[in-house]
Amino acid sequence: GGASPAGSAALRALRATLGAPDLEPAPGATVHQAARDAIAASAALSSSERLVHVPRWARMPSELQRHWVKYGVVWALAGAGALFVVRHSPLAGSSDLQRWWSAGVGATRAALDAHLLAPLQAVRDELFTTFRSRPSIVSLAEYEADRDSLARMLGDFERDRGSAGGAGGGGAGPGAPPPAAGDAVLVQGMDTMMRRYEHELKKPIRNLVAGDLARCLLIQVQKLKVDSESAMLEIDQILKSNELSIALVAAVPAFLIAGGLLYWTSRLITPAPPDPKTEAVPARLALVEAERSLAVLATPEPGRDLAQAAGLYAFQLAAAYEEARSLFARHRGLFGGQASSEWPALQAELKELGAPGPVARKLGGLQRIMRAYSIYQQF
- Three-state SS at 165: coil
Whether pLDDT at 67 is above 70: yes
- DSSP state letter for 138: S
Q: What percent of the chain has pLDDT over 70?
A: 72
The pLDDT of residue 92 is 85
Q: Please tell me the predicted confidence (pLDDT) of residue 78.
A: 95
Domain boundaries, the chain: 5-56, 140-250, 281-376
Residues 278/308, Cβ–Cβ less than 8 Å: no
| Between 121 and 214, the higher pLDDT residue | 214
Residue 128 DSSP code: I
Phi/psi region, residue 136 (left: phi>0; alpha: psi -120 to 50; beta: rest), is beta
Residue 60's pLDDT is 79
What's the pLDDT at 150?
Answer: 86
Sequence-distant (≥ 6) Cβ neighbours of residue 197 within 8 angstroms? 212, 213, 216, 217, 220
Chain Cα centroid distance, residue 348: 32
Q: How does pLDDT run across 290-342, given as a tens digit for each residue?
A: 988 888 888 877 777 788 888 888 888 889 998 888 888 877 766 555 545 78
Question: Taking the chain, what is the end-to-end CA distance rounded to the nearest angstrom?
Answer: 61
**Degrees, nearest 5: CA angle 17-21-22:** 95
pLDDT of 201 above 50: yes
Cα 224 from chain centre: 55
What is the CB-side half-sphere exposure of residue 58 using CA atoms within 13 A? 4
pLDDT band (50, 70, 90) for residue 83: very high
| Residue 220 exposure: Cα atoms within 13 Å on the Cβ side | 14
- Average the pLDDT over each of 247-256, 306-315, 319-328, 354-363 and give the range with the smallest value: 247-256
DSSP state of 114: I
Give residue 266's pLDDT.
76
Q: Would the pLDDT of 69 be above 90? A: yes
Cβ atoms 162, 173 nearer than 8 A: yes
The pLDDT tens digits of the residues spanning 124-166 come to 776 656 555 656 667 778 888 888 888 888 888 888 776 444 4
Q: Give pLDDT, residue 335.
A: 58
Report the number of secondary-structure helices (H) and strands (E) in the chain: 16, 0
The larger pLDDT score, comparing residue 348 to residue 44, is at: 348
In whole angstroms, give the CA distance from residue 363 to residue 290.
10
Q: What integer pLDDT is reported at residue 82 of this predicted model?
A: 93
Say which range, 201-210, 256-265, 269-278, has the weakest mean pLDDT. 269-278
| pLDDT at residue number 136 | 64
pLDDT of residue 2: 44
Identify the pLDDT of residue 3: 45
Determine the pLDDT at residue 19.
53
Flag whether pLDDT at 180 surpasses 60: no
